[in-house]
């Protein structure tokens, strides 16, 4: 796993961008290889735009919800300590790494994008933690974590699928305003995607939702 390989995957869509290893804002102990802060936002040439749309490098950003969820795990260590954790839609691996830092026993980071799986492996190495990567989630977990995965309408079944894989599901999302069916709204946090994507202010508030298979009466 190498940063150079990650760099060449980024260049395949954004030729003028490069990878930098930086501390995560609000969670300085985590270091990630991400797109350079002054990356070219646009207007991008049409060929570059087409490449970005076809193969968006989500893994080169640390999304607001991932940052919020990582900070939440640091504050509430007991949530993952000693447990088997699935980070679904892991991107850079920010949430998976935070779970390791908060004492998880086993962490699987799943992402359908093979480039994200490489990014997670590189970032796990940078942070000296053990994370298994997977393109498709399988197995059984104590808790599944999802940060900014529900942006895509095609993902509307993801929550039902995730509930078959874990006893607890924790969702952090800046796009979802309504509590998903069966979930409880447990709070909201303020966070912004890094490097700054220039998202609308409304996406700086991250909602947290939780579902438990077993609830204490």
Ligand X SMILES: C[S@@+](CC[C@H](N)C(=O)[O-])C[C@H]1O[C@@H](n2cnc3c(N)ncnc32)[C@H](O)[C@@H]1O
Which residues sit at the interface with ligand X, rule CB under 6 A?
58-59, 62-63, 65-66, 88-92, 94-95, 110-113, 116, 147-149, 151, 155, 158
In whole angstroms, the minimum distance from the beta carbon of 154 to ligand X comes to 8
Residue 92 or 207 having the CB closest to ligand X: 92
The answer to whether 200 and 182 are in contact (CB under 8 A) is: no
- Number of Cβ within 10 Å of residue 6's Cβ equals 22
Contacts of residue 44, defined as CB under 8 A and 6 or more positions apart, other chains included, come to 52
The DSSP line for 73-94 is HHHTGGGTTTSEEEEES-TTSH
The answer to whether 79 and 73 are in contact (CB under 8 A) is: yes
Residue 92 phi/psi, 5-degree rounding, is -75, -15
Residue 46 or 198 having the CB closest to ligand X: 198
In whole angstroms, the minimum distance from the beta carbon of 45 to ligand X comes to 24
Give residue number: closest CB to ligand X: 66
Residue 25 or 216 having the CB closest to ligand X: 25
- The radius of gyration of the chain's CA atoms, rounded to the nearest angstrom, is 16
In whole angstroms, the minimum distance from the beta carbon of 216 to ligand X comes to 29
In whole angstroms, the minimum distance from the beta carbon of 217 to ligand X comes to 33
d(CA 146, CA 73): 12
Residue 9 or 111 having the CB closest to ligand X: 111
Alpha helices, DSSP H only, in the chain? 3-13, 46-54, 64-75, 94-101, 114-126, 158-163
In whole angstroms, the minimum distance from the beta carbon of 192 to ligand X comes to 12
Residue 63 or 72 having the CB closest to ligand X: 63
């Amino acid at each position: 796993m190498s940063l150079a390989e990650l760099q060449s995957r980024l260049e395949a869509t954004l030729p003028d961008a490069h990878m930098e290893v930086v501390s995560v804002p609000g969670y300085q102990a985590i270091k990630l290889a991400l797109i350079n802060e002054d990356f070219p936002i646009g207007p991008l040439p049409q060929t570059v735009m087409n490449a970005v749309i076809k193969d968006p490098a989500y893994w080169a950003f640390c999304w607001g919800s991932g940052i919020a969820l990582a900070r939440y795990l640091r504050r509430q260590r007991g949530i993952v300590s000693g447990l088997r954790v699935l980070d679904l839609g892991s991107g850079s691996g920010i949430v998976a790494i935070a779970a390791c830092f908060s004492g998880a026993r086993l962490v699987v980071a799943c992402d359908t994008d093979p480039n994200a799986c490489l990014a997670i492996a590189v970032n796990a190495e940078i942070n000296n933690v053990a994370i298994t990567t997977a393109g498709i989630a399988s197995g059984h977990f104590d808790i599944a974590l999802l940060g900014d995965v529900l942006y895509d309408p095609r993902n509307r079944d993801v929550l039902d699928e995730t509930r078959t894989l874990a006893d607890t599901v924790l969702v952090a999302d800046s796009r979802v305003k309504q509590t998903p069916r069966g979930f409880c709204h447990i709070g909201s946090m303020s966070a912004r995607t890094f490097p700054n994507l220039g998202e609308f202010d409304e996406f700086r508030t991250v909602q947290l939702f939780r579902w438990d298979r077993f609830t204490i009466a």
